[in-house]
Amino acid sequence: MWSNFFVQQDEDGRIGVAGAGQGGGLGGIKSGRVQRRTHKMSDSEEGKIKLAFFVAIIGVTLTVLGMGTEFWVELAQSKNFSGNQTCQMAHYGLWKGCIRTLWVADIDPERTSCGPAELPGETNCTYFKFFTSGENAVIFKKTTNKKLNLAAAILALLSLTMMVMGSICIGMSLSKGVPFFLKPASFCFILSGVLVLLSILIFHQSVLALLSSDHSIPLHHELSWSVACVGSAGAILIFGGFIFIILSLPFSPWQKCLPHKNSAT
């Protein structure tokens, strides 16, 4: 004869098996179910994650704004280079370049080069053919290095992909109420910030390669406000990624694991 036995349900509600006699004992063992506790995040914990996500979204917004504009660098001739009432300057980004013709009278008398690009004048913009026919662009008799320009653009696109993946992870973490997806989200945002900064560095190298391709026309160059947007975005994304790492550390209140207890009488 099987002796009567009971496995009582503990305070955590993880085990609930009861049986009596031979049939009851075997049936109780077979029907036992172990239920692991799934901790749901509190409102304060979700608030912290949403605040960190808001910081990351600022970085994403600045990245998209900077990548979509053609004000990464400004190339300016001397304002008296043509010897008439107008001068020319160029500005371009990852996808498109523009040549602007400005009036010398509108330029600051203390400025020696043509510009800035915000002054009124005629504009002629064209998209680069790096991505279609593979042709290099020619700006003031200087030729671009399409390999460097392509590398900068590809890194920028990869950074956007990582931003989307990080946002999906945060959305899943908030919808499921668990912090498991915070670590992959932090990896995606940190990597996207690093890729953005690498894109800026490679773009700057492409500008230097452009300037060294021909020396017949002296040009003054300076990085413009789009680079400032993208650079700030990279730093913000890395900062936001580290915030997610901190929120996912084991010492966080919602990450503490309670020991499993089984009591038998």
Write out pLDDT tens, residues 140-196. 889 999 899 999 999 999 999 999 999 999 988 888 877 778 889 999 999 999 999
Nearest to 185 by CA among 210, 206, 164: 164
Give the DSSP H or E segment for 121: strand 121-127
pLDDT confidence of residue 251: 53
pLDDT band at 39 (very low <50, low <70, confident <90, very high): low
Give all domains of the chain, ordered by start, each with its CATH number.
43-257 (1.20.140.150)
Give the DSSP H or E segment for 246: helix 225-247
Strands 73-76 and 138-139: unpaired
Q: How many residues does the chain have?
A: 265
Provide the whole-model pTM: 0.76
pLDDT tens-digit readout, 63-111: 999 999 999 999 998 888 877 888 999 999 999 999 999 998 888 888 8
pLDDT score of 227 more than 60 = yes
- Contact indicator for 62, 229 with CB cutoff of 8 Å: yes
Tokens 């040009």 map to which residue? 219
pLDDT confidence of residue 40: 65
Alpha carbon 95 to its chain centroid, in Å, reads 19
Three-state SS for 104-117 is: HHHCCCCCCECCCC
DSSP symbol at 137: P
- Contact indicator for 154, 195 with CB cutoff of 8 Å: no
The most confident of the ranges 109-123, 227-241, 246-260 is: 227-241
Top-confidence residue, 214 or 149: 149
pLDDT confidence of residue 229: 94
- Contact indicator for 172, 32 with CB cutoff of 8 Å: no
